[in-house]
Amino acid sequence: RQMKEPIGRIDADPDLHARLLPHCRLRPGDVWEDAVAGHRVGVADATEAASVQRIAGPSPPSLCIADPPYNVVVGARNTRALGRTAMQAYDAFSRAWLDALLPVLAGNASLYVWLGADMKNGFHPLPEFCLDMRTRPGWTARNWITLRNQRGYGTQKNWMWVRQELLYYVRGNPAFHVDAAYTDIPKTLRGYYKDVGGARTENTERGKASTIRAGNVWIDVQQVFYRLHENVPGCYAQKPLKAIERIVAASSSPGDTVIDPFAHSGTTLLAAERLGRRAVTFDLDPVFAEITIRRLERYRASGQTGWQCTHPFPEVA
């Protein structure tokens, strides 16, 4: 049967947003406390230091995963959440949320930032963001990861754009669990021989695993779309759970606190729940904060990671 999402983009439909808002349990400044695992979900502005400090609480997060607005028109609709503002205004926004967030992180911390690179605008804001991070005392660029989408956009006169950029920074000496960074792609390249301990071995015999370790180009992660069980209708440009779980598993330890200042569809919270971490996450919009909480509740009740083609707000027709 034909499948489609029951609601459209929440950020692009003011009438839909207005109908969902009364069903949200949080208002600006509110924080939801999870009695089971200690997760915290709030409604707050990521650029306001006092709000970020209050929601973060006394346990410094060892990992931050941030997915701010890209300053790129997404889906041919220019909205506050997924649209374009003046370059200077966006750069000021980036500096403001970094100023508010970085001080609450642990001394040994990892920072992952999903960021746009608008080819129509000199690849802004990626280079400006990288230059700003150079000025941040103690922070070091660790890697630049590309997630390959299965679908893209472009014209007949250019290469199709199928990449999402993920910047990885560290402060101090944070955890990195290399065993957690293996993909499910089997090793197929053979024939490299080497003498080890007097025995001649082939490369697959010397390997630590039968699968390939993830590099900085991720080709094994499925882009989220409406046929996937993890899909959250209304949350455009949702990040894949597999990608977020890979980050959480590699760059934090069980029991650690993970912070996400742009909750959106709640993927970081769900990844933390599944991997035994504690999540602190918040969003400027009460609707996305509510979706984040409901996604956790749905997972605990049914094991489902999303709604696929059903509705996160069944009480709204």
Q: How far, CA to CA in Å, does 135 sit from each of 99, 206, 271, 273, 298?
A: 12, 42, 31, 34, 42
On the question of pLDDT at 52 being above 90, the answer is yes
Largest CA distance in the chain: 73
Q: Residue range 11-38: average pLDDT?
A: 97
pTM of the predicted structure, to 2 decimals? 0.91
Of the pLDDT bands very low, low, confident and very high (cuts 50, 70, 90), residue 192 is low
Q: Which residue has the tokens 């509110």?
A: 30
How confident is residue 193, by pLDDT bands cut at 50, 70 and 90? Answer: low
pLDDT tens sequence across 231-264: 999 998 899 999 999 999 999 999 999 999 999 9
Q: Are strands 182-186 and 193-196 parallel, antiparallel or unpaired?
A: unpaired
CA distance 286 to 296: 16
Return the pLDDT at 77: 56
Burial (CB < 10 A; 0-12, 13-18, 19+), residue 96, is middle
User: Which among 129, 120, 17 has a CA at the least distance from the CA of 66?
Assistant: 129
* Residue bearing the bigger pLDDT, 208 or 178: 178
Whether 137 shows a pLDDT value over 80: the answer reads yes
What pLDDT shows up at residue 181? 79
Is the pLDDT at 84 greater than 90? The verdict is no
Domain ranges of the chain: 14-184+213-302
Determine the pLDDT at residue 1. 46
The DSSP call for residue 59 is S
**Is domain 14-184+213-302 classified as CATH 3.40.50.150?**
yes
In this prediction, residues 8-15 reach a mean pLDDT of: 92
Residues near 283 by beta carbon (within 8 Å), at least 6 away in sequence: 42, 43, 44, 262, 263, 264, 289, 292
The tens digit of pLDDT for each residue in 207-221 reads: 667 788 889 999 999
